[in-house]
Amino acid sequence: MNRALLKYGWIWLLFLPALVMGQAQELLSLRLVVPISTPDGQREISLEKYQSLHVIITNHSDVPQKLWKDWNTWGYFNLKLVWKLSNKTFSISRKAPQSWDGDFPDFWVLPPGESLVIEIDMASGEWDGFPDLYGEKYHATLQAFYENKADVLASEFGIWVGKIASQELEVVFQ
């Protein structure tokens, strides 16, 4: 029995990353919220009228989870949006680069069963990478991704580490 374990036990190491990623996704979930804003039931995103959308991170675990706040360097780029346009092109939106006058580790504590709502205001100038419209209206699929990467400070402060994805939403971007 020990020989078989030694001979084939290494195979389980191949599946370990998938098991760890699955566990990370069960602890937290990410939901993208773009309200239906037209009489025909479409979710419209517009830099003039409907420039805000939200992502909601929910803690499904039995213990509090810590997430880097988005004002500092550890959390500033952790959230991104991926646009899949109807013409098969992609665009990735994330916060625009900036310089920091001061920076220190700061995090949210998300109690079990509670959610954190993050507003994305596309007209604020804080985000870039939106699809170029040139006055056109595009149908797109929009999905949000949130990721905290492992590092020394994440370990020191007990920050949740992993990557989660929202559902895909069909939107009209203009």
pLDDT tens profile 46-100: 777 777 889 999 999 999 999 999 998 899 999 999 988 877 767 777 888 888 7
Closest CA to 119 of 49, 47, 32, 45: 32
pLDDT number for residue 20: 44
Cα–Cα distance for residue pair 96/127, rounded to 1 Å: 5
Reading the block at residue 142, the tokens are: 């929009």
10 Å CB burial of residue 144 (0-12, 13-18, 19+) is buried
pLDDT number for residue 68: 96
pLDDT number for residue 95: 83
> Does residue 170 carry a pLDDT above 60?
yes
